[in-house]
Amino acid sequence: MRRNIFPFLLVVVVAACLSAPRSDAAQLKKIRLAFSALAYANPPFWIAHDLKLFEKYGLESEIVYVGGARPIQAMLGGSIDVSQVGGAAAVAAAAQGAEISIVGTVFSRLTFAIHVSPQIKQIGDLKGKVLAAGTVGGNSYFAGLVFAKHFGWSANRDIGIVAAGGSPEVLAGLLQGKYQAGVLSPPSSTTAAKMGYREIFDLAALDFPFPVISVVSTRRYIDGNPDVILNILRATSEAIYLYKTRPELTIPVVARFMRVSKDDPALLQSQQTVGQLLNQNLQPSLEGIRFVLDFLSEKQPALKAKNPADFVDVRFLRKLEEEGFFKKFTGK
């Protein structure tokens, strides 16, 4: 009589399953990420997290909002590994001795616009007036400086540039009549236009390269986790590609982080404008870093001699370029 071997086989199968290697999900490298602004130029980390692109490249991501330049302190303190943060803030911190580097730049265009009160009819009317911008050293503030430079004006001599806070605070100051002009970005710029404070100049038209939003980490973390940095950049670049080409997938993600309705018209408008300007190959702007250093050198003359290349670590982007990673998205 033949023995029933099914129970024996079942035991073997169960034992094999119990002794099998852990799944890929269990082997993901945990990373703690931050983003520094709720703005329409910030979606790459959001998309890479929500659509599991970080997971695709072997990473288990935790993502948090840490406003302004505070992610830099968080990274130096070890509570955050890598952040999407203003490049100007990163350069300023590194110039002060912080051991951090820019490993890629997500957005390299100053897409702010200058909005003015109804009595300002043309740009020349702003001479001698006050332009409100963000905090000193922030992207909005630098946008104000670039605007002044473009028209050959000296900041705080030909036109006053004051730090008023973020776009909502700038808008509030405009509405209260405290300022004649303000540096704004969506959605505050959309609100300003609706209320009669029209756009008089679009800084994006200048095509001035600037490290607006950069991927930054400490040198210690970068050197200790080179594969993680590579995979963060891979996921970030792919997220940019999806944002540009698959709005039906990515706009809901942006809506969730921006805390607006999925039907908000600003979402599609931003995807079609700001989104198309995102930096697919993540290459940092040395010219923009030079501009930041020149500004800082007014109070720290020694920074004038600094090499902008010292503030970036492009070995990872170079490796991705060599392996043809970016060509998958550009087709070139």
- Does residue 6 carry a pLDDT above 90? no
Average confidence (pLDDT) over 95-119: 94
Mean pLDDT over the full length of the chain: 89
Fold match between domain 25-109+209-330 and domain 113-206 = yes
Q: What is the pLDDT of residue 123?
A: 95
Q: What is the pLDDT of residue 242?
A: 97
Please classify residue 97 by burial: count the beta carbons closer than 10 Å to its beta carbon, then call 0-12 exposed, 13-18 middle and 19+ buried. Answer: exposed
Q: What is the pLDDT of residue 110?
A: 87
Average confidence (pLDDT) over 86-96: 92
DSSP annotation string for 65-96: E--TTHHHHHHHHTS-SEEEEEHHHHHHHHHT
Average confidence (pLDDT) over 292-309: 92
Average confidence (pLDDT) over 241-247: 97
Q: What is the pTM of this model?
A: 0.82
- Indicate the pLDDT class of residue 26, thresholds 50, 70 and 90: low
Token code pair at residue 32: 């703690």
199 beta partners:
115
The DSSP code for 312 is: B
Token code pair at residue 61: 């991501």
Q: What is the pLDDT of residue 17?
A: 40
As a whole-number percent, the residues of the chain with pLDDT over 90 amount to: 70
- Indicate the pLDDT class of residue 39, thresholds 50, 70 and 90: confident
- Does residue 322 carry a pLDDT above 90? yes
Average the pLDDT over each of 56-60, 181-185, 234-238, 327-331 and give the range with the smallest value: 327-331
**Of 23-32, 115-124, 292-301, where does the model show the most confidence?**
115-124
Options 3.40.190.10, 3.40.50.150, 3.30.420.40, 3.40.50.720; CATH for 113-206 is: 3.40.190.10
- Does residue 40 carry a pLDDT above 90? no
Token code pair at residue 103: 């490993």
Q: What is the pLDDT of residue 139?
A: 84
Average confidence (pLDDT) over 283-300: 91
Asked: is 25-109+209-330 a CATH 3.40.190.10 domain? The reply is yes
Cα(181)–Cα(146) distance, integer angstroms: 15
Residue scoring higher pLDDT (100 or 142): 100
Cα(134)–Cα(164) distance, integer angstroms: 6
- Residue ranges of the domains in the chain? 25-109+209-330, 113-206
- Indicate the pLDDT class of residue 41, thresholds 50, 70 and 90: confident
